[in-house]
A and B are shown apart, each in its own frame.
Chain A
Amino acid sequence: MYHKVFFTILISCVGAKLFAQYPVSAIPDSLKKDARVVVRLNETTYEIKSPSKVSVHEHYVYTVLNEKGRNFGGYFTDYDKFKDLGDLTGTLYDANGKQLKHVKKKDFSDESGSGDETLMTDTRYKEFDFGYGIYPYTVEFEDDYDLDNMMLLQPWSPQEGSGVAVQEGRFTITAPADYVVRYRAFNYSGDPATSTSSNKKTYSWEVKNVTAIKKEIAEPVWHELVPYVMIAPSDFEAEGYKGSMESWLSFGKFINSLLAGKNTLPDPVKQKVHELTDNLSDPKQKIKVLYDFMQKNTRYISIQLGIGGWQPFDANYVYTKKYGDCKALSNYMVALLSEAGLNAKYVVIRAGSDASPMVEDFPSNQFNHATVCVPLKSDTMWLECTSQTLPAGYIGSFTGNRRALLIDTDGGHVVTTKRYFPKDNQIVTLVTGQIDPTGKLNADIEERYTGIYYGEVHDALTSTSKEEQLNSLKEGINLATYDVPSFNYDDHKDDDPYIKQHIKVVADGAASVTGKRMFFTPNFLSQNDTRLDADENRKFDVVYPYDFTQIDTLQYQLPPGYGVEAMPKDVTIDNEFGSYQIHFKVDNDKVFVNRRYERNANRFPPAKYNDLVKFYDNMYKADRSKIVFVKKDS
């Protein structure tokens, strides 16, 4: 400890002026390869003083090699009621290591953490950007803070993105010798070095000369690629609430303690619940009715203050204000269902369509959302309480297809949310059209969305005005110029909900006329846009997280007096990524196109990547196939 203080003083008072610090010449060439930034040093120290206090010291030195690394030339952190920010300094060096500038805490900007998403929070931001104009240059930042809530512990990951190399990284945790420090390291060989002195045990991880990673499309989650240490408390305490993360069961108990006493419903709403459900016998029907009641009488408002980041506002609050965040609304929903005699559970989860999957064997606070689960005899219903419009039981890509922690009376249990399979996730398109001799197309389009597509389309349709709906619709129509004389949709909020859209399109010049011929691209709706660059040196697995099926059935009446001169070739692709078929047929004065595209969610070895590139290329071409019509009498 004393040694560290002495060392720090030396740097800030004398060291920098006398000795060059972190000259770029000291970076080995191997670290500059594919790099925009070299982390010269990342030294992070957690000192666990008690279950409710951790002192953190962080020391970062980044050399920014070029403009692509520019966002590493500054510092950004958040702080709040639980994170007491102490000293903060920053230093700028030129390529030779000559100190150019030194800044202190007062020089950092201080900004509110609330915005459009959050009405109020005690989170604030501190930020400073050297933004130096001459590359390469080096920045150094040091900060100290105390955490009064170990749920805020962050994983250590010195390699903070693609194009970032690490020269030296060290992560140290010190804790009372009898405190169980919990960690889980990825891409780190061996155990951390440990030492014990005067009742304190120290764990440390060290990495040196880690080369930069090139960004790859559809790569696995970041912690699978780089040295990464997750850390979590055993016993911990926040604002007087005590808990342990040693198991999911114990973490769930802690969440139970935050929920305790929050579920009391005021009498009028109790009466309402009975009024609505007492004469219903089917539990599913009761859930639907109560979910609908909750949706119509609440809205999402996020207020996050202190322990309120983890603890919901109580049921009475939600009832009177008619608003709450995910926690408050979920807690309220559980209370409503309980009043109706249903056994509903509060669930914490990592939400988002591209959220990284839960690390199941490491109980820790990996969640950012709360939701509700109602286990029933035959199946289980999931209720997303922040939506005012989704049908009961629909969760889609926001929380579907993943693990979550269900909070039962005895504690937490890992559960799997609703799984959406390729047959569930469908877009079925029917087009019936006529082309006139000027090339004008009149088409009736019907599209049916199910599974995760249902949620995407539902959100787009319910959260925007008619005009915005039309504008977003137009992005998906690949015609040069056209008008949409009518557009409507039906939202079928059933157990397996679907949306049916009806669109009329009139497109002048949809078929291009050259002399006696006409050229027409029949598949103007479902054209796959993706094209990948071939990569002979693909390093990582290809992770494809979506299952789906798209079926297009198109039928066009030829312009009178025209016949077909040329039809595109049928294409069939079938491989481990999925399958694709497009089939063209002429029958008298009609052309028929059948397209089916199916994908499997899976993980594929790097060697398969170039097959995926080819898959997309072939599909790209086939999707844009043209039919040639020609005047009959000529």
Chain B
Amino acid sequence: MATHNLYARIGSVFVLTLLSILAIAQDKSSAKFGNITSRDFDVPKYGASDSGTGAIILADIGSTTFVGNDYNWLSHIFKRYTRIKILNQNGYDAATQKIWLYSKEQSAEQLTDVAAVTYNIENGKIVETKLDKKDIFEDGQTKNFVEKKFTLPGVKAGSIIEVNYTIKSDFDFRLHDWEFQSTIYPCLWSEYQVSIPNLLIYASVKQGTDSFYISKSWQTNESYSIGEQSDNQILIRPPGKILNTTVNNHRWVMRNIAPIKIESYLSSPLNYIDKIEFQLYQVSNSQETTDVVTNWETLVNQLLTDNNFGHTIDKEPYWLKDKLNELSTGAQDQLEFAKLAFTYFRDNFNCTDHNHFFVKTSLKDVFSNHNGNAGELNLLLMIMLRQYNIAADPVLLSTRDHGFSPSSYPVIDKYNYLICKAKIGEPTYYLDCSHPQLGFGFLPPECYNGEARIVTTAVPNSIILSADSVREQNTTFISINNTGDGRLSAACTMVPGMFQSYRIREAVAGAKNNQYKELLKGYLPVETQTTDIVVDSVKNTGMPVTIKYNFAINTNDAETFYFNPFATVINKNPFTTEKREYPVEMPSCTQNVYILNMEIPAGYQIDELPKSVRIKLGESDGYFEYIAVAANNHVRIRCTTIINRANFDAGYYQTLRDFFTFIVKKESEQIVFKKH
């Protein structure tokens, strides 16, 4: 929520463009504050009306305009009007409003004109209950944000509520974004209009899957009366201090928008919500025009001179010298040094925050406190590498749950994480020392979220960290032999992929012992007791872990003995829903190899063996292969699942689901043995 002071003022190459006016039937919402008739109480129909929603947003209408202020500049005025129909108790939360206001130094955003009314029909008449101003609470949240909040009185099932308020802000970079889509309720009419004087140019970026019902732009001319406060706080309003300028107007409307759906294998629903965002791009007073940020070069230059970023890495790190000497005595070459430095920071520093990268005070403090946010720790590693003349640079990225970072759109708020790039000889390594269980050259799954930016004075390149480029290789090997007493003993060795190994390592080290057990459970056979469980290579973070255990198999001397060769696999299709709204975003590509080598139980022969089979996923997106053979008194099964992509369109969902359906079916087949 906290906006970093300097870099919030950043624009992009997309400037508000004039779009054609649509020919339309209904141009305006009929909802207007205080204008309620009994007809409005009829439950409105909308597409997914049987969804069991608790409320319907009948209208949500916002606008932003500008006025001259007393500090020789412009302020913006955001007005919002919302009308909601409460259907049942699940919609009561819609009656609570929370508004965050920003303040910095002398200036604070002002909330005014709060009016909120609940309408109920009682004995055939519309009864109004108004919000009492005393019931608006103010709650300090962070240094720069205060929360104003209230809940409407008189709400019950069937109520209509209306809320109206205005926010005045002096902060150019806080132009209000607009979400056309709710995370909870359907919305029948969502509208936003901005009227921005040509002195301020904003980039607007639209995201989401639904299209506009209305999107139109036009220009007008306006005059803004501007005052000025002198040093002794006396207002000077010189006559004729009027700014005449063109104003760019834009109005967007969406209708009948269902709430966003939370689906599995979706890195962040935030990527798909219908929304318009604004970034300040250019400012001009009557004399000159200043680019706020127009491209990555400017952004990177600003970053590199920022007190909380560039300046902290420029300074000569004299305080690192002792540690540098210590580490370099143990290293023969750059790679060895890099590994030692990485391990040192990883094992001796705590990451307190994986969601920020700006340096709070200084890297020297981080070094002496032995803790910091992920960015601080990786910057520390970077300057240590640079001390050894390794070409190391910071790389900014947005983690999966933080949403995508738009490539052509340099906005620092879109980034929340920083890793270290190091070029050592030919290979380039991407390093993250903020996770104690992560090895040299490995990144955690949340980093694979698309475009990442290298912050260097040279032309700032981007790199793509895509889940499609990561292959999670899981290998299982089970060997089963007769023990001579009518039983069989099985020895299992499993090597999960690097991501899963990392999770297992974290669980082993972490405070939640149950978490580890739960994870391990996924690797153990469900129906038999295991013995001699060993998890190897936990400390060796450059390798996957190895899980080994034994279990006993008893034929019980039965006439027919049924054996499930996939006893260690949880047979459940990960895609449970019938339909899919958004793309499937898996954390990696998949390569599962399962090998079973089983001696035929003494006294038995094979009655039935699962058939070998191979199916493809799409043309070349993957395959599933199951080979079962019996030879030399042994059964051998080799089962391979390959998926060459991590990301699939929603349209691919059924194919993917069918593929998994086939796999779980096949993997539940059994071997049948009969006595001789």
Chain A residues with a Cβ under 8 A of chain B = 36, 67-71, 100-101, 110-112, 114, 119-120, 129-134, 215, 296-299, 301, 303, 320-323, 388-389, 439, 462-467, 469, 471, 474, 478, 480-481, 483, 508-509, 512-517, 519, 533, 565-566, 617, 620-621, 624, 626, 628
Q: Is B621 located at the chain interface by the 8 A CB criterion?
A: no
CA distance A299 to B576 in the complex (A): 35
Q: Is the CB of A112 within 8 A of B526?
A: no
CA distance A108 to B423 in the complex (A): 40
Which partner residue on chain A sits nearest B263 by CB separation? A471
Q: Is B141 located at the chain interface by the 8 A CB criterion?
A: yes
Q: Is the CB of A565 within 8 A of B153?
A: no
Q: Is the CB of A67 within 8 A of B661?
A: no
With A132-B370, A466-B52 already in contact, the answer to whether A299 and B661 are too (CB < 8 A) is: no
| Chain B residues whose CB sits within 8 angstroms of the CB of A439 once the complex forms | 665
CA distance A478 to B664 in the complex (A): 13
Q: Is B89 located at the chain interface by the 8 A CB criterion?
A: yes
**What's the nearest-Cβ distance from chain A to residue B114, in Å?**
15
CA distance A133 to B156 in the complex (A): 52
| Chain B residues whose CB sits within 8 angstroms of the CB of A624 once the complex forms | 526-527
Q: Is the CB of B89 within 8 A of A299?
A: yes
Q: Is the CB of B140 within 8 A of A481?
A: no
Main secondary structure on A side of the interface with B: mixed
Q: Is the CB of B664 within 8 A of A481?
A: yes
Q: Is the CB of A131 within 8 A of B350?
A: yes
Which partner residue on chain B sits nearest A116 by CB separation? B93
| Chain B residues whose CB sits within 8 angstroms of the CB of A474 once the complex forms | 576
Which residue of the partner chain, among A296, A464, A514, contacts B672 with CB atoms under 8 Å? A514
Q: Is the CB of B350 within 8 A of A133?
A: yes
Q: Is the CB of B139 within 8 A of A120?
A: yes
Known: A480-B661, A481-B657. 13 other contacts (CB 8 A): A69-B511, A101-B369, A133-B371, A299-B155, A320-B154, A323-B153, A389-B89, A480-B572, A481-B665, A512-B670, A514-B669, A515-B672, A566-B560
Which residue of the partner chain, among B53, B511, B571, B672, contacts A67 with CB atoms under 8 Å? B511
CA distance A379 to B30 in the complex (A): 54
**Of B140, B155, B348, which is in contact with the most chain A CB atoms at under 10 Å from its CB?**
B155
| Chain A residues whose CB sits within 8 angstroms of the CB of B577 once the complex forms | 471
Q: Is the CB of A465 within 8 A of B52?
A: yes
Which residue of the partner chain, among A110, A132, A301, A471, contacts B371 with CB atoms under 8 Å? A132
CA distance A508 to B663 in the complex (A): 12
Which residue of the partner chain, among A67, A112, A463, contacts B436 with CB atoms under 8 Å? A67
Q: Is the CB of B573 within 8 A of A480?
A: yes
Which residue of the partner chain, among B511, B664, B670, contacts A68 with CB atoms under 8 Å? B511
Q: Is the CB of B573 within 8 A of A481?
A: yes
| Chain B residues whose CB sits within 8 angstroms of the CB of A628 once the complex forms | 560, 562
Which partner residue on chain B sits nearest A387 by CB separation? B89
Which partner residue on chain A sits nearest B608 by CB separation? A515
| Chain A residues whose CB sits within 8 angstroms of the CB of B632 once the complex forms | none
CB under 8 Å from chain A, chain B span 560-595: 560, 562, 571-573, 576-578
Q: Is the CB of B90 within 8 A of A464?
A: yes
With A132-B369, A322-B156, A519-B562 already in contact, the answer to whether A480 and B670 are too (CB < 8 A) is: no
| Chain A residues whose CB sits within 8 angstroms of the CB of B578 once the complex forms | 483
Q: Is B81 located at the chain interface by the 8 A CB criterion?
A: no
Q: Is the CB of B371 within 8 A of A36?
A: no
Which partner residue on chain B sits nearest A297 by CB separation? B156
| Chain B residues whose CB sits within 8 angstroms of the CB of A508 once the complex forms | 661, 665
Q: Is B73 located at the chain interface by the 8 A CB criterion?
A: no
With A131-B371, A296-B156, A509-B661 already in contact, the answer to whether A463 and B90 are too (CB < 8 A) is: yes
Q: Is the CB of A465 within 8 A of B96?
A: no
**What's the nearest-Cβ distance from chain B to residue A62, in Å?**
14
CA distance A467 to B580 in the complex (A): 13
Q: Is the CB of B509 within 8 A of A112?
A: no
Which partner residue on chain B sits nearest A132 by CB separation? B370
Q: Is B5 located at the chain interface by the 8 A CB criterion?
A: no
**What's the nearest-Cβ distance from chain A to residue B121, in Å?**
13
| Chain B residues whose CB sits within 8 angstroms of the CB of A533 once the complex forms | 517
In the A-B complex, the 4 residue pairs with the smallest Cβ-Cβ separation, listed nearest first, are A133-B370, A512-B668, A509-B665, A133-B349
Q: Is B368 located at the chain interface by the 8 A CB criterion?
A: yes
Which partner residue on chain A sits nearest B349 by CB separation? A133
Contact with A along B72-105 (1 / 0, CB 8 A): 0000000000000000011010001000000000
Q: Is the CB of B610 within 8 A of A514?
A: yes
Q: Is the CB of B137 within 8 A of A120?
A: yes
| Chain B residues whose CB sits within 8 angstroms of the CB of A469 once the complex forms | 52
| Chain A residues whose CB sits within 8 angstroms of the CB of B436 once the complex forms | 67
Q: Is the CB of A481 within 8 A of B368?
A: no
CA distance A516 to B661 in the complex (A): 21
**What's the nearest-Cβ distance from chain B to residue A272, in Å?**
11
CA distance A381 to B671 in the complex (A): 59
CA distance A67 to B571 in the complex (A): 34
Q: Is the CB of B51 within 8 A of A481?
A: no
CA distance A215 to B347 in the complex (A): 27
CA distance A428 to B54 in the complex (A): 30
Which partner residue on chain A sits nearest B661 by CB separation? A481
> Could you list some 8 contacts between A and B, CB below 8 A?
A112-B147, A131-B352, A296-B156, A301-B151, A321-B135, A465-B54, A508-B661, A509-B664
Q: Is the CB of A480 within 8 A of B368?
A: no
Q: Is the CB of A480 within 8 A of B672?
A: no
| Chain A residues whose CB sits within 8 angstroms of the CB of B609 once the complex forms | 515
Which partner residue on chain B sits nearest A508 by CB separation? B661
Q: Is the CB of A517 within 8 A of B608?
A: yes
| Chain B residues whose CB sits within 8 angstroms of the CB of A303 once the complex forms | 137
Q: Is B510 located at the chain interface by the 8 A CB criterion?
A: yes
Q: Is the CB of A132 within 8 A of B350?
A: yes
CA distance A408 to B157 in the complex (A): 34
Q: Is the CB of A514 within 8 A of B608?
A: yes
**What's the nearest-Cβ distance from chain B to residue A631, in Å?**
11
| Chain B residues whose CB sits within 8 angstroms of the CB of A483 once the complex forms | 578
Contact with A along B48-59 (1 / 0, CB 8 A): 001111100000
Which residue of the partner chain, among A67, A101, A462, A517, contacts B510 with CB atoms under 8 Å? A67
Which residue of the partner chain, among B155, B371, B511, B665, contacts A480 with CB atoms under 8 Å? B665
CA distance A296 to B578 in the complex (A): 36
Q: Is B37 located at the chain interface by the 8 A CB criterion?
A: no
With A480-B572, A621-B527 already in contact, the answer to whether A70 and B350 are too (CB < 8 A) is: yes
CA distance A296 to B560 in the complex (A): 63
Which partner residue on chain A sits nearest B657 by CB separation? A481
Q: Is B620 located at the chain interface by the 8 A CB criterion?
A: no
| Chain A residues whose CB sits within 8 angstroms of the CB of B661 once the complex forms | 480-481, 508-509
Q: Is the CB of A516 within 8 A of B664?
A: no
CA distance A296 to B576 in the complex (A): 36
**What's the nearest-Cβ distance from chain B to residue A466, in Å?**
4
With A296-B157, A514-B669 already in contact, the answer to whether A215 and B513 are too (CB < 8 A) is: yes
Q: Is B129 located at the chain interface by the 8 A CB criterion?
A: yes
| Chain B residues whose CB sits within 8 angstroms of the CB of A466 once the complex forms | 50-52
Which partner residue on chain A sits nearest B662 by CB separation? A509
**What's the nearest-Cβ distance from chain A to residue B381, in Å?**
13
CA distance A176 to B386 in the complex (A): 66
| Chain A residues whose CB sits within 8 angstroms of the CB of B675 once the complex forms | none
Which partner residue on chain B sits nearest A298 by CB separation? B156
